[in-house]
Amino acid sequence: MFSYRHAFHAGNHADVLKHMTLLAVLRHMTQKDTALTVFDTHAGAGLYRLDGDYAQTSGEAADGFLRLLSEEKTALAPASKGKSAITKVAEAPASILQDYLDLVAGFNNKPSQRVYPGSPFIVQHLLRDRDKLKLFELHPTDAKTLSANIAQLDAGRQVAVLREDGFEGLKKFLPPPARRALVLCDPSYEIKSDYARVPVMVADALTRFATGTYMVWYPLIPRPEAHDVPRKLKTLATRAGKSWLNASLTVKSSKLTTDEAGEVQRPGLPASGVFIINPPHTLKAALQAALPQLVAKLAQDEHAAWAVDNGG
Ligand code: SAM
């Protein structure tokens, strides 16, 4: 069975990019009256504590979401990085960043911000009565925790937890009844085959339901399979004649370093991206405003950068 537990990573820089973007996509999609179905193919436990053992052990939230709460800005300025350079950081958070901060704050009793919502709770927060949420989670412990967390919402049949393989399980629900859906695909990539399964799932889903919005999170690490994910998704979207958007956030160099004792140190996760097929037309500008601010807050060295690209 898998050893990946999202509780170690909750609130890290990758969650910040993913959850801020997810919220922006959903805000847009819930403006239309027609019922929406949201699928979270890799849901995790749903709700996390940033002061719990898992998060404290990894310290990832301290370098991610919790840094956004501090008043300080990182004084790094990678001036030679073209469009990724930090030039000037606006004082007020960009609208989608502020929305994300407000949403997380809503799960907490201010001033302490120790509860962090995963994608299931972020999505559920925005659902209207007519919308549905289907959550896939394969890890037995996390599936149990997710079910217990969701049960507290008294959401009835609006939210379903399925202890199934999300890559396969999605198929039977497409196309959804009202023909409006957002699919979030956020694997742990713990198993190497996940890198290949993502584009296969999206290709299949597009044949069943071409007008859905598909959002995939991927790590940007020095492995060819990781870089293949956005490349393959771009090819898929282009061939299907669909619009797409690819955004990335880098917080540090991906190079191996050597510590004082001569031990080689891996950098952990230096960067990640989100690839969206059929994105809201407002998303690119919204991300262009927010991502430089995330770089300013979350940069760990001079390699910190952001990028947004789109097409179709
Ligand atoms: N989407 C969550 C969020 O943003 O809060 C985080 C999900 S975490 C990155 C990935 C989750 O997928 C893990 O909880 C893991 O147990 C689960 N998982 C791994 N393989 C799976 C599969 N084939 N189908 C469904 N869930 C899977």
> 71-98 burial by CB neighbour count: b if 16+ within 10 A, else e?
eeebebebeebeebebeeeeeebbebbe
Find out whether the beta carbon of 8 lies less than 6 Å from any atom of ligand 1.
Answer: no
Domain that holds residue 206: 6-311
Question: In 3-state terms, what secondary structure has residue 90?
Answer: coil
Q: What is the CA radius of gyration of the chain?
A: 19
Q: Residues 52-100: pLDDT tens digits?
A: 887 777 789 999 999 999 876 554 444 334 344 444 444 799 999 999 9
Find out whether the beta carbon of 138 lies less than 6 Å from any atom of ligand 1.
Answer: yes
Pairing of strands 47-49, 115-117: antiparallel
Identify the H or E element spanning 160. strand 159-162
Q: Residues 21-34: pLDDT tens digits?
A: 999 999 999 999 99
The CATH number of the domain holding residue 131 is 3.40.50.150
Determine phi and psi for 27, rounding to 5 degrees. -55, -45
Residue scoring higher pLDDT (77 or 251): 251
Active-site residue among 40, 142, 186, 194? 186
Confidence at residue 87, expressed as pLDDT on a 0 to 100 scale: 44
Residue 281 covered by a domain: yes
Q: Is the pLDDT of residue 138 over 90?
A: yes
Residue 209 covered by a domain: yes
Closest alpha carbon to 36 in 46, 26, 23: 26
| Mean pLDDT of the 151-173 span | 96
Q: Of ligand 1's atoms, which has the minimum distance to the CA of residue 166?
A: 24
CA 175-218-205 angle, 5° bins: 15
User: Cα of 187 to ligand 1 centre, how many Å?
Assistant: 5
Q: Of ligand 1's atoms, which has the minimum distance to the CA of residue 118?
A: 5
Confidence at residue 1, expressed as pLDDT on a 0 to 100 scale: 60
Q: Say which range, 13-22, 186-195, 262-271, 294-303, has the weakest mean pLDDT.
A: 262-271
| Mean pLDDT of the 213-242 span | 97
Confidence at residue 83, expressed as pLDDT on a 0 to 100 scale: 41
- In this structure, the dihedral spanned by the alpha carbons of residues 165, 168, 169 and 170, taken in order and rounded to 10 degrees, is 130
40 is known as an active-site residue: no
Confidence at residue 24, expressed as pLDDT on a 0 to 100 scale: 98
Confidence at residue 76, expressed as pLDDT on a 0 to 100 scale: 45
| Mean pLDDT of the 268-277 span | 97
Residue 1 covered by a domain: no
Number of structural domains found in the chain: 1
- CA dist., res. 26 & res. 271, Å (int): 23
Find out whether the beta carbon of 194 lies less than 6 Å from any atom of ligand 1.
Answer: no
CA 196-201-206 angle, 5° bins: 135
Nearest CA owner, ligand 1 atom 17:
42
Q: In sequence order, what are the residues at sequence separation of 6 or more whose Cβ sits closer than 8 angstroms to the Cβ of residue 58?
A: 8, 9, 12
Confidence at residue 73, expressed as pLDDT on a 0 to 100 scale: 55
Nearest CA owner, ligand 1 atom 6:
44
Q: Residues 113-122: pLDDT tens digits?
A: 799 999 999 9
Find out whether the beta carbon of 137 lies less than 6 Å from any atom of ligand 1.
Answer: yes
Confidence at residue 49, expressed as pLDDT on a 0 to 100 scale: 93
Closest alpha carbon to 186 in 55, 40, 60: 40
Residue 25 covered by a domain: yes
